Amino acid sequence: MRERLTKAMKEAMVSKDATRLSTIRLINAAIKDRDIAARTGDGSDNGVSDAEILGILGRMIKQRQESARLYEEGGRLELAEQERSEIAVIEEFLPRRLDDAEVEAAVKQAVAQTQAHSIRDMGKVMGILKSQYAGQMDFAKAGAAVRAALG
């Protein structure tokens, strides 16, 4: 994932795509911040995993979606459009999103895997989904599907 980001940043520099370049730099800064926070005192410095990077990207998209919504409500359409263009760049680094049928199948598989029977087991099911499908599904929608499966 880091190699893809570095390669994309170099390509953006060469093509002089300022929006893409600044967004990739923001992604790298967020990853670096997380790397620093994850450091241990024992000298091992492997950095965050690809799964954690996908989580960072997902949070960045959510932040920008909320900002775009607020800008639209405030009549600042040019800023909302800028947020959407950043979302498009970030989404390039995420795996393909699962459609509704695939999410439903993943939920059924996770319920079976955890042997969940009631809504009290929802945390276990969501944990499995988040570990296996980071960046591939909207977990708010997945949570509703889990509730429906367990309810």
Residue 20 near residue 7, CB atoms below 8 Å:
no
- pLDDT at position 30 is 93
The mean pLDDT value of the chain amounts to 88
Q: Is 58 a residue whose pLDDT tops 70?
A: yes
- pLDDT at position 149 is 86
- pLDDT at position 68 is 95
| One domain, residues 79 and 112 | no
Residues 3, 63, 131, 106, CA torsion sign:
negative
- pLDDT at position 15 is 95
pLDDT above 90 covers a percentage of the chain that reads: 40
Task: Taking residues 58-78, report their average pLDDT.
Answer: 93
User: Which domain range does residue 143 map to?
Assistant: 100-150
Return d(Cα 94, Cα 2) in angstroms, integer.
Answer: 12
Q: Is 43 a residue whose pLDDT tops 80?
A: no
| One domain, residues 28 and 65 | yes
Model confidence at 140, pLDDT cuts 50, 70, 90, reads confident
Task: Taking residues 98-112, report their average pLDDT.
Answer: 88
| One domain, residues 109 and 69 | no
| One domain, residues 16 and 83 | yes
Return d(Cα 29, Cα 53) in angstroms, integer.
Answer: 11
| One domain, residues 82 and 120 | no
